[in-house]
Structure 1
Amino acid sequence: MYIRSALLLTTVLALGACSESFSNSENASSRPPLPENILELAAPNQDLATAYLRPEDNCYWYMHASPVETTRLPLRTIEGNPICVKRAE
């Protein structure tokens, strides 16, 4: 019974390691490049290669990859304000 459980656990862990990561599923390479003025506004230490405009709130977001997880965070200016655009009326 113990050997069977250990084999099952090893198989599950091995298959889980082969799955596509969260950040790769977003396919950042298919996104249009950021406008020049957004690049100038953005604070350093943000991954601008993964930044995109989220239509729900018209703000720019990027993928922050930490050692533990990958999280979506709002793109911010040096002052800490989120970078958003006005909605077209």
Structure 2
Amino acid sequence: MYIRTGAIVAATLVLGACSTPFNNPAETSQTRQIPEVVAAMAARDQDLQSARLVPEDSCYWYLHAGPVETTLVPLRSSRGNPICAAPAV
């Protein structure tokens, strides 16, 4: 039991160390503006200036600057749901 838990913790630490930080200011300044409809749906306290549509999941994400690191976080509506684009038909 302890070996399995230790292996999971070790794998999490190894994979976490391989992540790429999203704190490149040039990257955020080159993003396109999000549509006004998306901005109107977004809950408060989210950085709409850094929001962008991610093609892999067709959802909007923004850069959240936390006390330790800056990471991409899903843009959420006031009800807490992720804001995604409608699939192309």
Q: TM-score, normalised by structure 1?
A: 0.71
For 2:22 and 2:51, locate their aligned partners in 1 and report how far apart those are by CA, in whole Å.
Answer: 15
- Conserved? CA contact 2:22–2:63, under 8 Å: no
Q: Name segments (4+ residues, structure 1) moved above 6 Å.
A: none
Q: Which residue of 2 aligns with 1:62?
A: 62
Gaps of 5+ in 1: 1-20
Q: 1:48 to 1:71 in 2, by over 3 A?
A: same
CA RMSD of aligned residues (A): 1.6
For 2:25 and 2:61, locate their aligned partners in 1 and report how far apart those are by CA, in whole Å.
Answer: 16
Q: 1:73 to 1:26 in 2, by over 3 A?
A: farther
Counterpart residue type for residue 64 of structure 2: H
Q: TM-score, normalised by structure 2?
A: 0.71
Gaps of 5+ in 2: 1-20
Greater gyration radius: 1
Q: How many residues align?
A: 69
For 1:86 and 1:22, locate their aligned partners in 2 and report how far apart those are by CA, in whole Å.
Answer: 26
Q: Which residue of 1 aligns with 2:52?
A: 52
Partner-residue secondary structure (3-state), 1:28: helix
Q: 1:61 to 1:26 in 2, by over 3 A?
A: farther
Q: Which residue of 1 aligns with 2:42?
A: 42
